[in-house]
A and B are shown apart, each in its own frame.
Chain A
Amino acid sequence: MHELSIAQALVEQVEAVIRTHHALRASLIRVRVGPLAGVVPELLAHAFPLAAAGSRMEHAELALVKAPVRVLCERCGAESEAAMNRLLCAECGDWHTRIVSGDELLLESVELETAASPSPAS
Protein backbone atom coordinates (compact mmCIF):
# COMPACT_ATOMS: atom_id res chain seq x y z
CA MET A 1 0.00 0.00 0.00
CA HIS A 2 1.04 3.59 -0.38
CA GLU A 3 0.88 4.56 3.27
CA LEU A 4 4.67 4.73 3.48
CA SER A 5 4.82 7.44 0.84
CA ILE A 6 2.06 9.29 2.63
CA ALA A 7 3.99 8.97 5.89
CA GLN A 8 7.05 10.38 4.12
CA ALA A 9 5.02 13.33 2.84
CA LEU A 10 3.73 13.84 6.36
CA VAL A 11 7.27 13.87 7.78
CA GLU A 12 8.31 16.45 5.18
CA GLN A 13 5.40 18.71 6.04
CA VAL A 14 5.97 18.49 9.76
CA GLU A 15 9.69 19.12 9.15
CA ALA A 16 8.70 22.34 7.34
CA VAL A 17 6.51 23.39 10.27
CA ILE A 18 9.37 22.74 12.70
CA ARG A 19 11.70 24.85 10.53
CA THR A 20 9.25 27.71 10.10
CA HIS A 21 8.76 27.97 13.81
CA HIS A 22 12.42 27.48 14.78
CA ALA A 23 11.35 24.63 17.03
CA LEU A 24 13.45 21.78 18.34
CA ARG A 25 11.07 18.96 17.62
CA ALA A 26 7.46 17.95 17.25
CA SER A 27 5.78 16.12 20.11
CA LEU A 28 2.24 15.56 18.84
CA ILE A 29 1.01 15.34 15.25
CA ARG A 30 -2.70 15.26 14.56
CA VAL A 31 -3.91 13.99 11.20
CA ARG A 32 -7.56 13.91 10.20
CA VAL A 33 -8.44 10.93 7.99
CA GLY A 34 -11.78 10.37 6.32
CA PRO A 35 -12.86 6.82 5.41
CA LEU A 36 -12.94 7.88 1.76
CA ALA A 37 -9.37 9.16 1.65
CA GLY A 38 -8.06 5.82 0.37
CA VAL A 39 -5.78 5.49 3.37
CA VAL A 40 -5.86 2.76 5.98
CA PRO A 41 -5.24 4.55 9.31
CA GLU A 42 -3.67 1.47 10.90
CA LEU A 43 -1.17 1.16 8.04
CA LEU A 44 -0.35 4.85 8.26
CA ALA A 45 0.27 4.45 11.99
CA HIS A 46 2.66 1.56 11.26
CA ALA A 47 4.43 3.43 8.47
CA PHE A 48 4.96 6.64 10.39
CA PRO A 49 7.79 5.46 12.71
CA LEU A 50 9.68 4.13 9.68
CA ALA A 51 9.39 7.45 7.87
CA ALA A 52 10.13 9.47 11.00
CA ALA A 53 13.22 7.53 12.15
CA GLY A 54 16.11 9.89 12.79
CA SER A 55 14.02 12.99 12.22
CA ARG A 56 12.96 15.68 14.66
CA MET A 57 9.66 13.92 15.19
CA GLU A 58 10.80 10.38 15.83
CA HIS A 59 9.40 10.46 19.36
CA ALA A 60 6.25 12.35 18.45
CA GLU A 61 2.83 10.84 18.99
CA LEU A 62 0.78 10.47 15.83
CA ALA A 63 -2.89 11.03 16.58
CA LEU A 64 -5.23 9.91 13.79
CA VAL A 65 -8.61 11.57 14.00
CA LYS A 66 -11.33 9.76 12.09
CA ALA A 67 -13.78 11.97 10.20
CA PRO A 68 -17.40 11.00 9.44
CA VAL A 69 -18.80 10.73 5.91
CA ARG A 70 -21.40 13.40 5.15
CA VAL A 71 -23.19 14.17 1.90
CA LEU A 72 -25.15 17.15 0.61
CA CYS A 73 -28.19 16.30 -1.53
CA GLU A 74 -28.47 18.20 -4.81
CA ARG A 75 -32.14 17.34 -5.04
CA CYS A 76 -33.56 18.26 -1.63
CA GLY A 77 -30.65 20.18 -0.12
CA ALA A 78 -30.40 18.07 3.01
CA GLU A 79 -27.04 17.25 4.53
CA SER A 80 -26.79 13.86 6.14
CA GLU A 81 -24.40 11.21 7.37
CA ALA A 82 -23.73 8.33 4.99
CA ALA A 83 -21.91 5.02 4.79
CA MET A 84 -18.82 5.01 2.62
CA ASN A 85 -20.33 2.70 -0.01
CA ARG A 86 -23.80 4.20 0.14
CA LEU A 87 -23.57 7.93 -0.43
CA LEU A 88 -27.33 8.39 -0.71
CA CYS A 89 -29.34 11.23 0.81
CA ALA A 90 -30.76 10.08 4.15
CA GLU A 91 -33.75 12.39 3.67
CA CYS A 92 -34.99 11.57 0.17
CA GLY A 93 -32.84 8.61 -0.89
CA ASP A 94 -31.52 10.26 -4.05
CA TRP A 95 -28.01 9.50 -5.32
CA HIS A 96 -27.33 12.97 -6.71
CA THR A 97 -25.22 13.96 -3.73
CA ARG A 98 -21.91 15.63 -3.12
CA ILE A 99 -19.48 14.63 -0.41
CA VAL A 100 -18.91 17.42 2.07
CA SER A 101 -16.83 15.48 4.54
CA GLY A 102 -15.16 12.09 4.81
CA ASP A 103 -12.57 12.15 2.03
CA GLU A 104 -10.08 14.38 3.77
CA LEU A 105 -6.50 13.62 4.61
CA LEU A 106 -5.26 16.62 6.54
CA LEU A 107 -2.41 17.56 8.73
CA GLU A 108 -4.57 19.15 11.39
CA SER A 109 -2.04 20.41 13.90
CA VAL A 110 1.45 19.97 15.23
CA GLU A 111 2.56 20.47 18.78
CA LEU A 112 6.10 21.80 18.93
CA GLU A 113 8.82 22.00 21.53
CA THR A 114 10.90 25.14 21.32
CA ALA A 115 14.34 26.00 22.68
CA ALA A 116 12.82 28.57 25.04
CA SER A 117 10.43 26.06 26.52
CA PRO A 118 12.15 23.10 28.18
CA SER A 119 10.30 19.94 27.28
CA PRO A 120 8.23 18.64 30.19
CA ALA A 121 9.53 15.39 31.66
CA SER A 122 11.03 13.62 28.67
Chain B
Amino acid sequence: MCDTCGCNLTPGNRHLAYKPVARGATAVSVLKGLLAKNDDQAGHNRAHFDRRGILALNLMSSPGSGKTALLEATLTALKGEFTCAVIEGDLETENDAERIRAKGVQAHQIVTGTACHLDAHLVHDALHEMKLDGVDILFIENVGNLVCPASFDLGQHLNVTLLSVTEGDDKPAKYPVMFRAADALLLTKTDLLPVLDDFDLDRAEAHLRNLANPAPVLHLSARKDAGMGPWLDWIRVQLAQQLARVAAGQSRRPAIQPDGARYHHTEA
Protein backbone atom coordinates (compact mmCIF):
# COMPACT_ATOMS: atom_id res chain seq x y z
CA MET B 1 0.00 0.00 0.00
CA CYS B 2 1.14 3.47 -0.83
CA ASP B 3 1.09 5.89 2.12
CA THR B 4 0.29 8.89 -0.02
CA CYS B 5 -3.11 7.81 -1.20
CA GLY B 6 -3.65 4.16 -0.36
CA CYS B 7 -3.75 2.95 -3.93
CA ASN B 8 -2.35 -0.47 -4.74
CA LEU B 9 1.37 -0.85 -4.98
CA THR B 10 3.10 -4.17 -5.42
CA PRO B 11 6.78 -5.14 -5.32
CA GLY B 12 6.59 -5.21 -9.10
CA ASN B 13 5.27 -1.73 -9.67
CA ARG B 14 6.65 0.13 -6.66
CA HIS B 15 9.41 1.77 -8.65
CA LEU B 16 6.76 3.47 -10.75
CA ALA B 17 5.32 5.28 -7.78
CA TYR B 18 5.89 8.98 -7.83
CA LYS B 19 8.39 10.21 -5.29
CA PRO B 20 7.42 12.98 -2.86
CA VAL B 21 7.68 16.30 -4.67
CA ALA B 22 8.53 19.86 -3.85
CA ARG B 23 6.35 21.77 -1.41
CA GLY B 24 3.25 23.27 -2.84
CA ALA B 25 2.19 20.11 -4.57
CA THR B 26 0.89 16.73 -3.47
CA ALA B 27 2.05 13.62 -5.26
CA VAL B 28 -0.40 10.89 -5.95
CA SER B 29 0.46 7.57 -7.49
CA VAL B 30 -2.05 5.65 -9.42
CA LEU B 31 -1.55 2.49 -11.39
CA LYS B 32 -4.54 1.72 -13.44
CA GLY B 33 -5.09 0.80 -17.01
CA LEU B 34 -6.37 3.78 -18.93
CA LEU B 35 -8.73 1.49 -20.68
CA ALA B 36 -10.20 0.11 -17.48
CA LYS B 37 -13.66 1.34 -18.37
CA ASN B 38 -13.62 -0.32 -21.73
CA ASP B 39 -12.44 -3.53 -20.12
CA ASP B 40 -15.28 -3.45 -17.59
CA GLN B 41 -17.79 -3.08 -20.38
CA ALA B 42 -16.10 -5.84 -22.37
CA GLY B 43 -16.41 -8.17 -19.40
CA HIS B 44 -20.11 -7.37 -19.24
CA ASN B 45 -20.48 -8.11 -22.96
CA ARG B 46 -18.67 -11.41 -22.52
CA ALA B 47 -21.10 -12.30 -19.72
CA HIS B 48 -23.98 -11.71 -22.19
CA PHE B 49 -22.33 -14.21 -24.57
CA ASP B 50 -21.41 -16.78 -21.97
CA ARG B 51 -24.88 -16.78 -20.43
CA ARG B 52 -26.30 -17.75 -23.81
CA GLY B 53 -23.51 -20.10 -24.82
CA ILE B 54 -22.53 -17.86 -27.73
CA LEU B 55 -19.04 -17.92 -29.27
CA ALA B 56 -17.96 -14.36 -30.20
CA LEU B 57 -15.26 -13.90 -32.86
CA ASN B 58 -13.67 -10.56 -33.71
CA LEU B 59 -12.43 -10.19 -37.31
CA MET B 60 -9.66 -7.66 -37.84
CA SER B 61 -7.66 -6.63 -40.90
CA SER B 62 -6.79 -3.71 -43.12
CA PRO B 63 -9.60 -2.29 -45.25
CA GLY B 64 -10.59 -4.56 -48.10
CA SER B 65 -8.67 -7.66 -47.13
CA GLY B 66 -11.82 -9.71 -47.44
CA LYS B 67 -13.63 -9.81 -44.09
CA THR B 68 -17.13 -9.43 -45.50
CA ALA B 69 -16.44 -11.82 -48.37
CA LEU B 70 -15.17 -14.37 -45.87
CA LEU B 71 -18.28 -13.89 -43.75
CA GLU B 72 -20.55 -14.37 -46.77
CA ALA B 73 -18.85 -17.63 -47.67
CA THR B 74 -18.73 -18.79 -44.05
CA LEU B 75 -22.40 -18.05 -43.36
CA THR B 76 -23.39 -19.91 -46.51
CA ALA B 77 -21.31 -22.92 -45.48
CA LEU B 78 -22.61 -22.99 -41.89
CA LYS B 79 -26.24 -22.48 -42.83
CA GLY B 80 -28.37 -25.24 -41.29
CA GLU B 81 -25.57 -26.22 -38.92
CA PHE B 82 -25.45 -23.17 -36.63
CA THR B 83 -27.36 -19.97 -36.06
CA CYS B 84 -25.06 -17.04 -36.71
CA ALA B 85 -25.35 -13.31 -36.22
CA VAL B 86 -23.07 -10.50 -37.32
CA ILE B 87 -22.10 -7.08 -36.01
CA GLU B 88 -20.57 -4.90 -38.70
CA GLY B 89 -18.33 -1.99 -37.87
CA ASP B 90 -17.92 0.56 -40.61
CA LEU B 91 -16.96 4.20 -40.83
CA GLU B 92 -19.87 5.30 -42.97
CA THR B 93 -22.12 2.83 -44.73
CA GLU B 94 -24.64 0.02 -44.19
CA ASN B 95 -23.23 -1.88 -47.19
CA ASP B 96 -21.60 -4.75 -45.32
CA ALA B 97 -24.69 -5.41 -43.14
CA GLU B 98 -26.83 -5.50 -46.26
CA ARG B 99 -24.51 -8.06 -47.84
CA ILE B 100 -24.88 -10.24 -44.72
CA ARG B 101 -28.67 -9.83 -44.54
CA ALA B 102 -28.85 -10.96 -48.16
CA LYS B 103 -27.62 -14.31 -46.80
CA GLY B 104 -30.62 -14.45 -44.48
CA VAL B 105 -28.50 -13.77 -41.41
CA GLN B 106 -29.20 -11.21 -38.70
CA ALA B 107 -26.78 -8.29 -39.04
CA HIS B 108 -26.46 -5.10 -37.06
CA GLN B 109 -24.42 -2.24 -38.47
CA ILE B 110 -22.46 0.06 -36.18
CA VAL B 111 -21.59 3.20 -38.10
CA THR B 112 -18.60 4.54 -36.22
CA GLY B 113 -18.31 7.86 -38.04
CA THR B 114 -14.80 9.00 -37.23
CA ALA B 115 -13.79 6.25 -34.82
CA CYS B 116 -11.38 3.87 -36.49
CA HIS B 117 -12.18 0.90 -34.28
CA LEU B 118 -15.05 -0.61 -32.34
CA ASP B 119 -15.08 -0.42 -28.58
CA ALA B 120 -16.94 -2.39 -25.95
CA HIS B 121 -19.58 0.30 -25.44
CA LEU B 122 -20.48 0.42 -29.13
CA VAL B 123 -20.78 -3.35 -29.17
CA HIS B 124 -22.91 -3.36 -26.04
CA ASP B 125 -25.38 -0.92 -27.58
CA ALA B 126 -25.55 -3.16 -30.65
CA LEU B 127 -26.15 -6.28 -28.55
CA HIS B 128 -29.21 -4.71 -26.98
CA GLU B 129 -30.63 -4.09 -30.45
CA MET B 130 -30.22 -7.71 -31.48
CA LYS B 131 -32.00 -10.99 -30.88
CA LEU B 132 -29.37 -13.18 -29.28
CA ASP B 133 -31.54 -16.08 -28.17
CA GLY B 134 -30.65 -19.19 -30.12
CA VAL B 135 -27.52 -17.65 -31.63
CA ASP B 136 -24.50 -19.99 -31.60
CA ILE B 137 -21.83 -17.80 -33.16
CA LEU B 138 -21.54 -14.02 -33.25
CA PHE B 139 -19.08 -12.58 -35.75
CA ILE B 140 -17.91 -9.03 -35.19
CA GLU B 141 -16.38 -7.43 -38.27
CA ASN B 142 -14.16 -4.69 -36.90
CA VAL B 143 -13.41 -1.48 -38.76
CA GLY B 144 -10.73 -2.04 -41.40
CA ASN B 145 -7.59 -0.82 -39.65
CA LEU B 146 -4.35 -2.56 -38.71
CA VAL B 147 -3.60 -0.45 -35.65
CA CYS B 148 -6.41 0.50 -33.27
CA PRO B 149 -8.78 -2.49 -33.09
CA ALA B 150 -6.16 -4.62 -31.34
CA SER B 151 -6.15 -2.31 -28.35
CA PHE B 152 -9.83 -2.60 -27.48
CA ASP B 153 -11.39 -5.65 -25.92
CA LEU B 154 -14.97 -5.92 -27.17
CA GLY B 155 -15.99 -8.90 -25.08
CA GLN B 156 -15.13 -11.43 -27.79
CA HIS B 157 -13.52 -14.77 -27.00
CA LEU B 158 -11.11 -14.90 -29.93
CA ASN B 159 -9.49 -12.66 -32.50
CA VAL B 160 -9.20 -13.64 -36.12
CA THR B 161 -6.76 -11.53 -38.12
CA LEU B 162 -6.93 -11.53 -41.92
CA LEU B 163 -4.01 -10.76 -44.20
CA SER B 164 -4.70 -10.78 -47.91
CA VAL B 165 -1.92 -11.88 -50.19
CA THR B 166 -2.04 -8.55 -52.03
CA GLU B 167 -0.86 -6.72 -48.91
CA GLY B 168 2.59 -8.25 -48.61
CA ASP B 169 3.90 -10.97 -46.33
CA ASP B 170 5.77 -8.57 -44.06
CA LYS B 171 2.64 -7.00 -42.52
CA PRO B 172 3.06 -8.91 -39.21
CA ALA B 173 6.49 -7.32 -38.82
CA LYS B 174 5.13 -3.86 -39.60
CA TYR B 175 2.00 -4.06 -37.45
CA PRO B 176 3.10 -6.32 -34.59
CA VAL B 177 0.40 -5.20 -32.16
CA MET B 178 -2.37 -6.35 -34.46
CA PHE B 179 -0.77 -9.67 -35.37
CA ARG B 180 0.29 -10.44 -31.83
CA ALA B 181 -3.41 -10.25 -30.93
CA ALA B 182 -4.42 -12.95 -33.43
CA ASP B 183 -5.79 -16.28 -32.18
CA ALA B 184 -5.90 -17.39 -35.80
CA LEU B 185 -4.28 -15.84 -38.86
CA LEU B 186 -6.08 -16.20 -42.17
CA LEU B 187 -4.08 -15.59 -45.34
CA THR B 188 -6.86 -14.62 -47.73
CA LYS B 189 -7.36 -14.22 -51.48
CA THR B 190 -4.96 -17.09 -52.15
CA ASP B 191 -6.54 -17.46 -55.61
CA LEU B 192 -4.42 -14.42 -56.51
CA LEU B 193 -1.11 -16.05 -55.55
CA PRO B 194 -0.33 -17.17 -59.12
CA VAL B 195 -0.27 -13.56 -60.29
CA LEU B 196 1.76 -12.29 -57.32
CA ASP B 197 5.42 -13.21 -57.36
CA ASP B 198 6.40 -11.77 -54.01
CA PHE B 199 3.98 -13.11 -51.41
CA ASP B 200 5.43 -16.11 -49.58
CA LEU B 201 2.96 -17.92 -47.30
CA ASP B 202 5.79 -19.41 -45.22
CA ARG B 203 7.46 -16.05 -44.79
CA ALA B 204 4.19 -14.55 -43.54
CA GLU B 205 3.98 -17.36 -40.99
CA ALA B 206 7.62 -16.85 -39.95
CA HIS B 207 6.90 -13.17 -39.26
CA LEU B 208 4.01 -14.27 -37.03
CA ARG B 209 6.25 -16.66 -35.09
CA ASN B 210 8.71 -13.80 -34.59
CA LEU B 211 5.94 -12.23 -32.53
CA ALA B 212 5.91 -15.29 -30.26
CA ASN B 213 2.43 -16.08 -31.56
CA PRO B 214 1.55 -19.80 -31.84
CA ALA B 215 -1.79 -19.15 -33.62
CA PRO B 216 -2.75 -21.47 -36.49
CA VAL B 217 -2.19 -20.00 -39.97
CA LEU B 218 -4.83 -20.93 -42.54
CA HIS B 219 -4.74 -20.23 -46.28
CA LEU B 220 -7.99 -19.65 -48.11
CA SER B 221 -9.91 -17.94 -50.86
CA ALA B 222 -13.48 -16.97 -50.05
CA ARG B 223 -14.08 -16.02 -53.66
CA LYS B 224 -12.98 -19.38 -55.09
CA ASP B 225 -14.25 -21.37 -52.10
CA ALA B 226 -10.77 -22.86 -51.56
CA GLY B 227 -9.30 -23.80 -48.20
CA MET B 228 -12.55 -23.09 -46.36
CA GLY B 229 -12.65 -26.53 -44.71
CA PRO B 230 -9.90 -25.97 -42.10
CA TRP B 231 -11.37 -22.55 -41.23
CA LEU B 232 -14.85 -24.00 -40.72
CA ASP B 233 -13.37 -26.81 -38.63
CA TRP B 234 -11.50 -24.27 -36.53
CA ILE B 235 -14.81 -22.50 -35.85
CA ARG B 236 -16.48 -25.80 -34.91
CA VAL B 237 -13.70 -26.64 -32.47
CA GLN B 238 -13.83 -23.15 -30.94
CA LEU B 239 -17.60 -23.36 -30.47
CA ALA B 240 -17.27 -26.78 -28.81
CA GLN B 241 -14.59 -25.37 -26.49
CA GLN B 242 -16.77 -22.37 -25.70
CA LEU B 243 -19.70 -24.62 -24.78
CA ALA B 244 -17.41 -26.69 -22.57
CA ARG B 245 -16.15 -23.53 -20.85
CA VAL B 246 -19.67 -22.28 -20.31
CA ALA B 247 -20.68 -25.62 -18.83
CA ALA B 248 -17.71 -25.36 -16.46
CA GLY B 249 -18.56 -21.77 -15.55
CA GLN B 250 -15.45 -20.42 -17.26
CA SER B 251 -14.76 -17.83 -19.91
CA ARG B 252 -11.94 -16.83 -22.22
CA ARG B 253 -10.45 -13.43 -22.94
CA PRO B 254 -8.76 -12.88 -26.28
CA ALA B 255 -5.04 -12.42 -26.60
CA ILE B 256 -4.97 -8.65 -26.85
CA GLN B 257 -4.78 -7.40 -23.32
CA PRO B 258 -1.87 -5.05 -22.73
CA ASP B 259 -1.33 -6.66 -19.36
CA GLY B 260 2.43 -7.00 -19.33
CA ALA B 261 2.64 -4.41 -16.60
CA ARG B 262 1.26 -6.94 -14.15
CA TYR B 263 4.46 -8.91 -14.47
CA HIS B 264 6.59 -5.85 -14.36
CA HIS B 265 10.09 -6.30 -13.08
CA THR B 266 11.94 -3.79 -11.06
CA GLU B 267 14.65 -2.04 -12.98
CA ALA B 268 17.29 0.30 -11.74
Q: Check B168 for interface membership: any CB of A closer than 8 A.
A: no
Q: Is A9 an interface residue (CB 8 A)?
A: yes
- Of the A-B pairs whose beta carbons lie under 8 Å apart in the complex, a sample of 18, sorted by A's number, is A2-B151, A32-B261, A38-B147, A38-B150, A39-B151, A70-B265, A84-B176, A85-B172, A85-B176, A85-B210, A88-B212, A95-B210, A96-B214, A104-B258, A109-B30, A111-B18, A111-B21, A112-B26
Contact with A along B153-183 (1 / 0, CB 8 A): 0000000000000000000111011101000
Chain B residue total in the interface (Cβ 8 A): 51
Establish whether residues A102 and B260, one from each chain, have CB atoms under 8 Å apart when the complex forms: yes
- Among B174, B177, B258, the most chain A Cβ lie within 10 Å of the Cβ of B258
Report the nearest B residue to A10, measured CB to CB: B34
Given A1-B116, A31-B34: A117 and B24 interface contact (C-beta under 8 Å): yes
Instruction: Verify B18–A109 contact, CB threshold 8 A.
Output: yes
Q: Does B23 contact A (CB under 8 A)?
A: yes
Query: When the two chains form the complex, which single residue of A2, A37, A101, A117 contacts B25, counting CB atoms closer than 8 Å?
Result: A117
Does A100 make an interface contact (CB < 8 A)? yes
Per-residue interface assignment for chain B, residues 16 to 38, with 1 indicating a CB less than 8 Å from any chain A CB and 0 otherwise: 11100111111111111111111
* Interchain CB contact (< 8 A) of B5 among A21, A28, A99: A21
Q: Is the CB of A5 within 8 A of B27?
A: no
Q: Which residues of A contact B35 (CB under 8 A)?
A: 6, 9, 105
Closest CB-CB distance, A9 to chain B, in whole Å? 5
Question: A102 to B261, alpha carbons, bound, how many Å?
Answer: 8
Q: Number of A interface residues, CB 8 Å?
A: 55
B223 within 8 A of A: no
Q: How far is the CA of A71 from the CA of B38 in the complex (A)?
A: 26
Whether the pair A101, B29 counts as a contact (CB closer than 8 A) is: no
Contact with B along A31-47 (1 / 0, CB 8 A): 11010111100000000
Cross-chain contact B212 with A13 (CB below 8 angstroms)? no
A38-B177, A85-B211 as given contacts; A101 in contact with B152, CB under 8 Å: no
Contacts of B263 in A (CB 8 A): 72, 98, 100-101
Interface pair B31/A20, CB less than 8 Å apart: no
- Report whether B30 and A37 are in contact in the complex, using a CB–CB cutoff of 8 Å: no
Alpha-carbon gap, A97 to B260, bound state (A):
12
Residues of B28-78 at the interface with A, using a CB-CB cut-off of 8 Å, are 28-38
Q: How far is the CA of A85 from the CA of B261 in the complex (A)?
A: 19
